[in-house]
Amino acid sequence: MNAATIAFGSRRIGKGEPVTVIAEIGINHEGNVDACARMIDAAARAGADAIKLQTIDADENYVEGTASHTLFAGAELTPEDTGKMFAHARKKGMEALTTAGDFATLDWVDRLAPAAHKISSGLLNNTPLIRAAARTGRTLLISTGMAEAHDIDLSVKAARDAAASGLGLFQCTSLYPAPPELLHLATIAWLSQRYDVPAGFSDHSIGPEAAALSVAAGGCMIEKHITLDVTRPGFDHAISLDENGFSEMVRRVRSAEAMLGTPVKSRTTVEAERAKALRRVVVARRDIVAGEVLGWDALGLKRQMPGVGGMSPSAADLLLGRRTRRAISRNEPVGFADLEPSPPR
């Protein structure tokens, strides 16, 4: 397994790659395939790299009579429609994936060639399903909401024991909405370091701010809900962004990426030119006569006139005690070329 980057359809996620932005449609389509297609269109216009659904067989995942069974039973897409939505997303230049909640669903979803298999926070302890997903040979993206380190250890072990080809982890707070003080974006770097995998942020907060901040916290993938109408009741509409909000989030994410730059300190060509203009150089503090032995009384450290260079102050000590070979006027640069040769030892 390559911890630096992992496969994600035709893309890669991880170090050196652009942050992958996943538009989480989930079941905001409410079982309406046309609404789902419109959300895919909105995600593409907003700049998403991928869309994600939730493909949950209510009878296989929830006890009848529970709120979850009622919700998901009324918001299912058929395998045929799911395939059409995957194809529609790809036509728009995005990857497609979904959360499959049971073995039979995982099997037919895998035949649709998703970019990865998503393991939701609610499935984190379902190690039999994790092993089955790993054995497909596709990347696994696992959310870690409601988890402690021990829970994640077991899930990661299950994936690796089943020879997962790639593994990524999302920091996630399973509250809807998740308040800012409980987002714990610093956990992103901890996940990446502890498990040696790319890590990101599954965002259940309100607004676009946290997603952009997660990039600065080390996130290399972001999952955020999208909807056509944030005022629509039920499902995940209230914690979602509409097209305009999602577009603003993507803009902030890309801006954060640009601001971060590279982790190794270096300077740009423009900065190098600025250094020539702004940094101090060694000059004559006063007129210096030929044959004079240099001391600090004769040397100054000043910013020069535009276009005039000079020796760095970091080497100034090497001039001390040396004899000049020529007269040097006040404020002229002073360097080794102005000195008599050092006497042999």
Closest CA to 144 of 190, 113, 107: 190
Query: Residue 342: its pLDDT value, please?
Result: 79
Query: What does pTM read for this prediction?
Result: 0.89
The answer, yes or no, to whether residue 49 has pLDDT greater than 50, is yes
Which CATH entry fits the domain spanning 5-260: 3.50.50.60, 2.102.10.10, 3.20.20.70, 3.20.20.10? 3.20.20.70
2 pLDDT higher than 50: no
pLDDT at position 344 is: 58
In this prediction, residue 195 carries a pLDDT of 98
Query: How many Å is the Cα radius of gyration of the chain?
Result: 30
Q: What is the pLDDT of residues 315-341, one digit of tens each?
A: 999 999 999 999 999 999 999 999 999
Would you state the pLDDT for residue 168?
98
Cα 113 versus chain centre, distance: 24
pLDDT tens track for 214-223: 999 999 999 9
Query: Where exactly are the structural domains of the chain?
Result: 5-260, 269-338
For residue 1, pLDDT beyond 80: no
pLDDT in tens, 54-107: 999 999 999 999 999 999 999 999 999 999 999 999 999 999 999 999 999 999
Predicted pLDDT of residue 262: 86
**Which residues on neighbouring strands pair with residue 55, listed in sequence order?**
100
The more confident residue out of 344 and 70 is 70
Class of domain 269-338: alpha beta
- H-run or E-run covering 45: helix 33-46
pLDDT digits (tens, 9 = 90+) for 112-165: 999 999 999 999 999 999 999 999 999 999 999 999 999 999 999 999 999 999
Q: Detail the DSSP E strand segments found in the chain.
A: 5-8, 11-14, 20-26, 50-55, 95-100, 117-119, 140-143, 167-172, 199-203, 221-225, 280-284, 299-303
54 CB contacts (<8 Å, ≥6 apart)?
26, 27, 72, 98, 99, 101, 120
CA angle 312, 317, 318 (to 5 degrees): 90
Backbone angles phi, psi at 79, to 5 degrees: -55, -40
CA 265 to chain centre: 19
